[in-house]
Amino acid sequence: MMKSIFYSRFFILLPWVLIVIIVIDIDTKRSSVRNTAHSYLSRLSSAPRRDAAVHAPNRTAPPPPLIYAITPTYSRAVQKAELTRLANTFRQVPHFHWIVVEDSASRTELVSRFLARGRVPYTHLHVLTPRRFKRAGMPRATEQRNAALSWLRAHRTATDSGVVFFADDDNTYSLELFEEMRSTKGVSVWPVGLVGGRRYERPIVEKGKVVGWYTGWKADRPFAIDMAGFAVNLQVILDNPRALFKRRGAKPGMQESDFLKQITKLEDLEPKARNCTQVLVWHTRTEKVNLGNEPKRHQDSVLIEV
């Protein structure tokens, strides 16, 4: 009886062991061409454990870190269209939690219905931006992003594994981006397309480390990066309870840099997307809609949510 169990376990595991051995073999062969004998040996000793973790079925393994995407949003003609585009992407991402923060005095019907009908796990928050901050030249969505950070600090603990990402509603996200950021240990970075008056901006990476910024705008910012260009491990958010987006003294375009300064250093950034050579997110921005023909009187006889 014990023996037959032993043999059946053995034959179930055997193909996996073979796959792991083959993968290790291919991996080390490839690196032996590229690398020196020294790094060949160091890879050989570190490779098996990593590959085994990927290939061996392990029912007790912890689930992958949850991705918390924080999306500030506000009422406007294109709001539902933008949120729909995001939801269509996000519902395809496993282990995902969407934190939607409305700039409003209460949760609006439109967004409440939208989230309830969608198939994306979510938390729906709201905070009204004080009137004095609603001016051109003021950074936007500060209160909303901070509300999401406060929610995480109040509802998640040191045992939760997660990665926090600021997913504005006017961008386009590829699915690969989420698998890239999922392994973020501290703060990870990657290129962003169609931003800063360029086809793309990106962190400049040398020998696997971020050393500077390829950007067309204020290159002397400590972290010259767009909101869509970085992710932060949940524990970094919890370990730095005072790290927030600042109102006082903040200028538009400095929000990201001011925030990252509080939680990381340039040399600690983790480059993703093939050492920051791949664009996986685009700052698309929706064209300002023309509502010039909206009737003032004689409106449609039914009320339609757009």
Ligand X SMILES: *[C@@H]1O[C@H](CO)[C@@H](O)[C@H](O)[C@H]1NC(C)=O
- The residues annotated with a catalytic role in the active site are 256
Q: Longest C-alpha distance within the chain, in Å? A: 84
Do 263 and 236 contact (CB within 8 A), yes or no? Answer: yes
Do 192 and 228 contact (CB within 8 A), yes or no? Answer: yes
Whether residue 277 is annotated as binding a ligand: the answer is no
Check binding of 299 to ligand X (CB under 6 A). no
Segment (H or E) for 123: strand 122-126
Q: Which is nearer to ligand X, 58 or 293 (CB)?
A: 58
- State the minimum distance, in angstroms, from the CB of residue 203 to ligand X: 12
Which pair of structure tokens corresponds to residue 115? 């989230």
Whether residue 284 is annotated as binding a ligand: the answer is yes
Residue 197's nearest CA partner among 253, 151, 241, 148 is 253
Cα 120 from Cα 186, distance rounded (Å): 25
Q: Which is nearer to ligand X, 45 or 301 (CB)?
A: 45
CB atoms within 10 A of CB 247: 16
Phi, psi of 262, rounded to the nearest 5 degrees? -80, -15
- State the minimum distance, in angstroms, from the CB of residue 21 to ligand X: 16
Say which residues have a Cβ less than 8 Å from residue 75's Cβ, sequence separation at least 6. 102, 103, 104, 108, 110
- State the minimum distance, in angstroms, from the CB of residue 208 to ligand X: 4
Q: Which is nearer to ligand X, 31 or 284 (CB)?
A: 31
Q: What residue number has its CB nearest to ligand X? A: 208
Check binding of 38 to ligand X (CB under 6 A). no
- Among positions 76, 185, 274, 285, the unique one binding ligand X when judged by CB under 6 A: 274
Q: Per CB under 6 A, which of residues 42..101 are in contact with ligand X?
A: 56, 58, 60-61
Q: Which is nearer to ligand X, 183 or 275 (CB)?
A: 275
Q: Which is nearer to ligand X, 65 or 118 (CB)?
A: 65
Whether residue 200 is annotated as binding a ligand: the answer is no
Check binding of 34 to ligand X (CB under 6 A). no
Cα 290 from Cα 306, distance rounded (Å): 14
Whether residue 74 is annotated as binding a ligand: the answer is yes
Length of the chain: 306
Which pair of structure tokens corresponds to residue 75? 């009422």
- Among positions 15, 63, 208, 249, the unique one binding ligand X when judged by CB under 6 A: 208
What is the residue whose two structure tokens read 């990106």? 202
- State the minimum distance, in angstroms, from the CB of residue 275 to ligand X: 4
- State the minimum distance, in angstroms, from the CB of residue 56 to ligand X: 6
Whether residue 170 is annotated as binding a ligand: the answer is yes
Reported as half-sphere exposure (CB side, CA atoms, 13 A), residue 29 has a value of: 6
Whether residue 169 is annotated as binding a ligand: the answer is yes
Positions touching ligand X (CB under 6 A) are 56, 58, 60-61, 207-208, 274-275
- Which residues contribute to the annotated binding site? 72-74, 103, 140, 145, 168-170, 283-285
- Which residues contribute to the annotated binding site for Mn(2+)? 170
